[in-house]
């Protein structure tokens, strides 16, 4: 794994950002003015619901419960504030 990961936003005007593994994605997406909005930042509001392309650790039980309610038919749905960055990712905002 390289020292920097690339997080990209296909289909948007937002440029990719580079972060180190395990950095807090929600803090950096706010700074970079990404297409992903954040509310609570604790994984309970669902504001940052996204579709992720890339290899990341599985959602924990609390996040999985929210994902099952908000995006039951999207297998790669995640809450961006809960993602543990371990690989390059493509992120697309999901409509609620």
Residue 11 belongs to a domain with what CATH number?
3.10.20.30
Please tell me the distance from the alpha carbon of residue 71 to that of residue 19, in angstroms, as a whole number: 27
Spans in the chain with pLDDT lower than 50: 1
Q: What pTM did the predictor assign?
A: 0.88
Please tell me the distance from the alpha carbon of residue 62 to that of residue 87, in angstroms, as a whole number: 22
State the pLDDT at residue 96. Answer: 67
Expressed as residue numbers, the domain containing 28 is: 5-93
Q: How many domains, in total, are found in the chain?
A: 1
State the pLDDT at residue 2. Answer: 58
State the pLDDT at residue 69. Answer: 95
Find, among 67, 71, 82, 76, the residue nearest to 25 by Cα: 82
State the pLDDT at residue 41. Answer: 81
């Amino acid at each position: 794994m390289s020292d920097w990961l690339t997080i990209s936003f296909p289909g948007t005007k937002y440029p990719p950002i580079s972060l180190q593994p395990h950095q807090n994605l929600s803090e950096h997406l706010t700074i970079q003015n990404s297409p992903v909005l954040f509310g609570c930042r604790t994984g309970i509001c669902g504001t940052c619901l996204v579709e992720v392309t890339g290899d990341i650790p599985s959602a924990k039980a609390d996040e999985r419960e929210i994902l099952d309610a908000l995006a039951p038919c999207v297998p790669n749905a995640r809450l961006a504030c809960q993602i543990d960055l371990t690989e390059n990712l493509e992120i697309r905002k999901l409509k609620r």
